[in-house]
Amino acid sequence: MLKLTSNSIYKNFGGLEVLKDVSFTVEGPELIGLIGPNGAGKTTLTNILDGALKPSSGTVYMNGERIDTRPPYGVARAGLGRTFQVTRAFRRMTVLENLLIPAMAMRATARQRDFEEKAQEVLEFLTISHLRNEYARALSGGQQKLLELGRLLMLDPQMIILDEPFAGVHPRLMDVIYRYITEINAQGKAFIIISHDMDTIFTLSRRLLVLNYGDLIADGDPEIVREDPLVKAAYLGEDEE
């Protein structure tokens, strides 16, 4: 059973405190929304969980293993996958190759053809199987986003962090992404979803984390968090929600 613990994470950039004493625990296949106004430290927190940044102090444990000291690929192998705010497909590689990379990286002795079938399933699930042999740069922005989600399925992590999965996406693709989250979550993978889209995040997630200028000001059921005076104050004038 998955357990991710972040213990009292601090992060300074020069003199700027971006995260202050952020602690939370994820247990089992939770579906968590992470919100906060611009500059609240959401992306920094993601980068720390993922190993791209080292915390100034504090630790992150996953299933009993310390992961904040590992490089990003070590964290990925420990079972944590993430997407980026701006889509980062491998543009001059085919869609299939994009999908094979995480699968191959996870297993030292595997060969490409072992995963082609699984890749096909993933592409069908994401409704882009016809683009299998296209270069990723030929895909539209939304399709590239789906490709990123597909790569995560091939990585097969226990926990997935999605950074703004709905930003600037056509409504029809939004349905695909929505279905992706709920179905994969039902299969037992935990999610942390960062989003500005309040409506979606409130309907989708079963637990909300709210960051405000580096402080974790709320953590709990979306309905309760919504009424939290601190959260209301943080969002007053920031966003319409």
Partner 1 sequence: MSPTRIYRVAGTITIVLLLLIPLASSELNGLGPLVLSSYFMHLAITAFFYAILASSWSLLAGYAGQFSFGHMAFMAIGGYTSGLIGKFIRFTTAPSELCTDIPLLGNWWLVILNIRRVGTIDESCLDMAKTQTLPAGTLIIFPPVWASIAMGLVMGAVFGLLVGWLVLRLRSTYLALFTIGFSEILRASISAEIPITEGQSGLELVPLFPAGIMGFTSTSKIPPYYAMLLLFLFAMALMTWLAGSRFGLFIRAIREDEEAAAALGVNIVRYKVLVFVITSTLAAAAGALQGHYIGIITPNTVIILQMSLVIAMAVIGGLENIYAASVGAIVITFALELLRTNITIGPLHVDMTLWRLVFFGLLLMLTLRFQRNGLLFPILERISRGRVAQETVSIRVESEELEEVVTEEEVALETEEEETQPASSEENPG
Partner 2 sequence: MENAAIFGWALLWILFWGALGGVVTPRVYARKDLEISQASFGGAVIGAALGPFSLLPLWFATPKITSRLIGIAIAIVVGIFIAAFALADPDNLCVANGGFVISQLANGIVIGIIYGLMALGLTLIFSILGVVSFAHGEFYMIGGMVTYFMTAEWIPGVSPIIAILASCVVTFAIGYLFERIFLRPMGSGEIERPTEYAILVTFGLAFFLQYLTQALTSAVPVKAQRFFPFPRTEIPADSGALLKMTPGNVTVFDAISIPNPRFTAALLALMMLAALLWFLYRTWVGKALRAVSQDRQAAAVTGINPNSMNTLAFSMGAMLAGLSGASLVQVFSWLPQVGIPAAARSFVIIVLGGMGSLPGAFLGGLIVGLVEAAGTGCIPDATRAAAYIPAYGMVILTLVLLLKPTGLFGREL
Residue 121's Cβ-side half-sphere holds a number of Cα atoms within 13 Å equal to 7
Q: Does 199 bind partner 1 (CB under 8 A)?
A: no
Binding positions for partner 2, 21-80, rule CB under 8 A: 56-57
Q: Does 16 bind partner 2 (CB under 8 A)?
A: no
The CA distance from 198 to 240, in Å, is 9
Q: Does 100 bind partner 1 (CB under 8 A)?
A: yes
Q: Does 86 bind partner 2 (CB under 8 A)?
A: no
Q: Does 92 bind partner 2 (CB under 8 A)?
A: yes
Q: Which is nearer to partner 1, 73 or 188 (CB)?
A: 73
The H-assigned helical ranges of the chain are 42-50, 72-78, 95-106, 113-125, 141-155, 171-186, 198-204, 222-227, 229-235
CB 45 within 8 A of CB 211: yes
Q: Does 196 bind partner 1 (CB under 8 A)?
A: yes
Q: Which is nearer to partner 1, 29 or 72 (CB)?
A: 72
Tokens, residue 58: 């504090």
Closest CA to 127 of 182, 76, 192, 177: 177
| Of the candidate residues 10, 24, 61, 178, the single one contacting partner 2 (CB under 8 A) | 10
The CA distance from 171 to 179, in Å, is 12
| Of the candidate residues 28, 71, 188, 220, the single one contacting partner 1 (CB under 8 A) | 71
| Of the candidate residues 7, 10, 61, 77, the single one contacting partner 1 (CB under 8 A) | 77
| Of the candidate residues 3, 5, 7, 12, the single one contacting partner 2 (CB under 8 A) | 12
Q: Which is nearer to partner 1, 177 or 209 (CB)?
A: 177
Residue range at the interface with partner 2 (CB under 8 A); choices 8-16, 31-39, 76-84, 174-182: 8-16
* Tally of residues, the chain: 241
Burial 89-124 (b: 16+ CB within 10 A, else e): beeeebbbbbbbebbbebeeeeeeeebeeebeebbe
Q: Count other C-beta atoms under 10 Å from residue 237's C-beta.
A: 8
CB 67 within 8 A of CB 51: yes
> What's the min distance (Å) between Cβ of 56 and partner 2?
5
Q: Give the interface with partner 2 as residue ranges (CB under 8 A).
A: 10, 12, 14, 56-57, 91-92, 137
Q: Give the interface with partner 1 as residue ranges (CB under 8 A).
A: 13-14, 16, 18, 38-39, 43-44, 47, 50, 52-54, 71-73, 76-77, 81-82, 84-86, 88-93, 97, 100-102, 104-106, 112, 130-131, 133-134, 138, 140-143, 145, 151, 155, 164, 167-170, 172-173, 196
